[in-house]
Structure 1
Amino acid sequence: MSSTVQSDFLTVIHERHSVRYFDPSHMISEQEIKQLLELAGSAPSSWNLQHWKFVAFTNMDAKHKLLHAANGQRQVVDASVTVAVLGDLEANRNAAAVYGPVMEGGPEDAYAGYASSRILFDQIDKAYAVDASSPYRRDEAIRNASLAAMQLMLAAKAMGLDSGPMVGFDADAFVKTFHVPPRYIPVLLVAIGKAVKPARPTKRFPVEQTIVWNGFDPGNA
């Protein structure tokens, strides 16, 4: 990575802030939205199962339906596009599609570090063969979909856009309104567009306050 690219990336990280007020007249093309979501979908995921599904809201009627589920938060309507990031509770079903091309002649080490596809698939099947009450599937869905959501916001800033993540919405109403299959759970909404007001200033803890070197002191347990 060149120093220029690295510097640009650091600028993106430092300049990305959560925006709540968007210019409703700013339009984003379908191709730009696809580019954003393609970049979001290049995020890492457990076993590369890609535990996310994106619902992109551009139509005004659909946005107003979303507004109700979003508890009246106007940014879902004013943003150029609002993306609902869903987590996949059955991401194990993606394994064949993900590793099928590899099984057709790719190198064995492409099986996510496993010696064979059978060993890989057996481990995935075992992980997902948990009791329905186990939090594993939900945790995996939220964890991996959140990685894609963060990458989506960084991609938006890199493309000169602003974004704002939202978790204060009625997930049950969202599922009912937009006929979400039980395979998916709403994780968060991301409004994307052009800001008309700067983000509210926020502070971050100094790194010295957030880092623990080599484990916690057993005396503090």
Structure 2
Amino acid sequence: MNTLDAIRQRRAIKHFDPAHQFSKEETQQLIELAMQSPSSFNIQHWRLVNVTDKALRVQLRAAAHDQAQVTDASLLFVIAVDIKAWSKDPARYWVNAPKEAQDILVPWITPFYSSDEQLQRDEAMRSAGILLQTMMLAAKGMGYDSCPMVGFDFKKVAELVHLPKDFALAAMLPIGKATKPAWPKPGFIPQSEMIVENHF
């Protein structure tokens, strides 16, 4: 599918075919496409919990106010972020870059993040948002649909996936074969409100 069409056609789908399964190759392709997402300093804060355990899916559905897409979608990813990823061997994020780039950028990472916990969290969440959009467009391009979710008990989901210390949850992302279309797009704010020329 054309990228522009995928952007226009992507919707949050609530009804999925529970009998449909992704092949291993399709799942791997989706993950490889997700890996192309950009992140500040290439830190790649995201961690994807690929929930394949059906019993765990049922528990996650309960924690998500019984939303059917949690169990019915072919794939379910719990998207987490490692808030302290910036401090974990930052040179590894630039291992394939030219030495000139490594010498400039790697030394910036620790001083940029170390004294600002709000920035650490904000940057991790920004990275997760970019990853989510990449995955949703990739899924649409592959002929599938998705549903980004934050309507769940974050504390309970963190317990269920054994979220490590210094990690945070960003969203859940069911992906699969839609059985019902989304309702019409609910509306857009006017561009005159959305676009600000130069300053507010």
Q: TM-score, normalised by structure 2?
A: 0.91
Give, in whole Å, the separation in 2 of the partners of 1:145 and 1:94.
20
* Residue number in structure 1 paired with 2:90: 95
Identity rate, percent: 39
Deviating 4+ runs (over 4 angstroms): none
* Residue number in structure 2 paired with 1:70: 64
Say if 2:171 is the partner of 1:188.
yes
Say if 2:41 is the partner of 1:47.
yes
Say if 2:137 is the partner of 1:154.
yes
Say if 2:196 is the partner of 1:212.
yes
- 1:205 positional shift: 2.3
Give, in whole Å, the separation in 2 of the partners of 1:135 and 1:180.
20
Alignment of 1:60-209 (within 5 A): 60-92=54-86, 93=88, 95-102=90-97, 106-108=98-100, 110-111=101-102, 116=103, 119-130=104-115, 134-202=117-185, 203-209=187-193
Q: Is the 8 A contact 1:83 1:191 kept in 2?
A: yes
The AA in structure 2 aligned to 1:49 is I
- 1:59 positional shift: 2.8
Aligned-residue CA RMSD (Å): 1.7
Q: TM-score, normalised by structure 1?
A: 0.83
The AA in structure 2 aligned to 1:67 is R
| 1:31-89 CA distance string (max 9 Å, x none) | 21121122112111100111101111233122112112222111110000111111120
Q: Secondary structure at the match of 1:83?
A: strand
Give, in whole Å, the separation in 1 of the partners of 2:16 and 2:89.
36
Q: Secondary structure at the match of 2:151?
A: coil
Give, in whole Å, the separation in 1 of the partners of 2:82 and 2:89.
10
* Residue number in structure 2 paired with 1:24: 18
| 1:124-171 CA distance string (max 9 Å, x none) | 11122226xx31211111111110011000000000001111001111
- 1:107 positional shift: 4.3
| 1:172-193 CA distance string (max 9 Å, x none) | 1111111111132110011100
Give, in whole Å, the separation in 1 of the partners of 2:24 and 2:82.
24
Q: Secondary structure at the match of 2:181?
A: coil
Say if 2:50 is the partner of 1:56.
yes
Give, in whole Å, the separation in 1 of the partners of 2:89 and 2:29.
22
Give, in whole Å, the separation in 2 of the partners of 1:94 and 1:48.
12
- 1:94 positional shift: 5.1
Q: Is the 8 A contact 2:73 2:177 kept in 1?
A: yes
The AA in structure 2 aligned to 1:175 is A
Unaligned runs of 5+ in 2: none
Distance 1:193 1:94, change over 3 A: farther
Q: Secondary structure at the match of 1:165?
A: coil
Aligned length: 198
